[in-house]
Amino acid sequence: MKVTTTYSSIIKPCEPTPNTKIPLAEWDQIGYISHIPTIHIYKPSPNFPQNTQIENLKDSLSKILVPFYPLAGRLHWTTRGRLEIGCDATGVEFIVSETGSRLEELGEFSTCQEIHKLSPNIDYKNTPFEEIPLMFVQITIFQCGSITVCPALSHAVIDGRGASYFLNEWAKVARGEQLDVEPLHDRTVMKAGEPPSSNPTPLDFNPLLPPPLLIGETNDKEERKKETIVAMLKLTKNQVEILKNRANEEKIDGKSRPFSRYETITGHVWKCASKARGHKPEQETGLGISVDIRRRMKPQIADNYFGKATIDVVAEGCSGELVSRTLSYACSRVREAIDKVTNEHINMTIDFWKNQEDLKMFQDLEALKGEEEGPFYGNPNLGVTSWLTLAFHGLDFGWGNEVYMGPITHDFDGDFILFPDHDEDGGLILRACLQTPHMEVFKKVFYEDI
């Protein structure tokens, strides 16, 4: 499929916005300072010609950037090696492309590699960091009249909940509706820009511990080189209930609180991945989990907060135990990691990063440019990201819901995303990426005994 850019423009807020600087929380600046794209595919609309659709998207984007003005700014360094958003209404990049292909030629959207061509190509290598927009949008017009809308938003500025919040408000404005409430931009609720607390961080508290390596290896270079493949695995509502019942058959450490859907499926994925990868029984394995802290902080963070409010934690286990013991055990390891994220843990994390003199050494800017290798959570490790409560699906700009919505860039070994199956109430979909030789075994054990 050949995709050609017809034009690119900068969309700015249609009204004056505050000219100010907003600090980022320290942990928002760790790791990849990249953009996360999602894709939304729409069939032709008889009442909305393509030109009308594009003009509506541009017009509504300029309107929604007024209340969500930080997205129209740029990231800047402070003298302390921190990042802040310069809210200067510089704008976001809006790209229109076209292809001579028809939508049906993409086949299975979820695993089609061609879908990457529908996402903005962000030049991290040759563009000065301070000049890169915090948001890109690529619209692609197909020969059949279908269009794709692919927004890519800076993951340094907002998390998944913040992104879905913005996109739904944008769609609301595009439909001619009013916002129910203005977004909250006060980053001090996350103690951004404030000095560290006077309470010393415990010496044994260290969020920088590297994930385990395969037994006998001294680095992950060979694992990085191996070919991966993506698969979409569906679980019906009945299958989810079967797994939840199994997970809750045994009470680990005397705890009676039922395991959640996320804990259940993630524990199941961890067991299956350990088995599919053929680990030695003594192989240590880590499971990366992103925890939403909006309800875990004291005081709690308001629902209209527009920013990042997640902390990454790692569940630890031994492959032999994960494979041989019950699902309840694997779920308990997942829960143990999540339950560590208390208000006290959050504040310790804040203080840990605030006490680092220069955060640039923890930011994988060179990895974005392709000059160094970034973080890797592949074999023997994995990560399971939950989109179960994120409203990415059903983005209606005025011509109906999309026929497909999904991620684009989550295609490295050990990366799993869990989201609702909108074709079946209560069903779930697991987007799995593993090394090619491991995938068929994983799919087999994933569905065994359900």
- Decide: helix, strand or coil at residue 431: strand
Question: Is residue 396 flagged as an active site residue?
Answer: yes
Residue 153 forms beta bridges with which residues? Answer: 36, 135
Q: Alpha carbon 372 to chain centroid distance?
A: 22
CB 419 within 8 A of CB 427: no
What tokens were used for 304?
A: 């209209």
What phi, psi does 413 have (nearest 5°)? -55, 130
The answer to whether 96 touches 8, Cβ cutoff 8 Å, is yes
| Residue 318: partners with Cβ closer than 8 Å, 6 or more residues away | 281, 282, 283, 284, 285
Burial track 24-33 (b if 16+ CB lie within 10 A, e otherwise): bbbbbbbbeb
- Tell me the CA end-to-end span of the chain in Å, nearest whole number: 39
Q: Which two tokens stand for residue 147?
A: 């269009």
Query: Can you list the alpha helix ranges (DSSP code H) found in 133-207?
Result: 160-174
Please confirm, yes or no, whether 351 is among the known catalytic residues.
no
Catalytic residue among 28, 35, 40, 155: 155
Question: Which helix (H) or strand (E) is 20 found in, with range?
Answer: strand 20-23
Neighbours of 131 (CB within 10 A): 9
Active-site position among 59, 292, 339, 396: 396
- Residue carrying the six token digits 């070994």: 413
Residues catalogued as catalytic: 155, 396
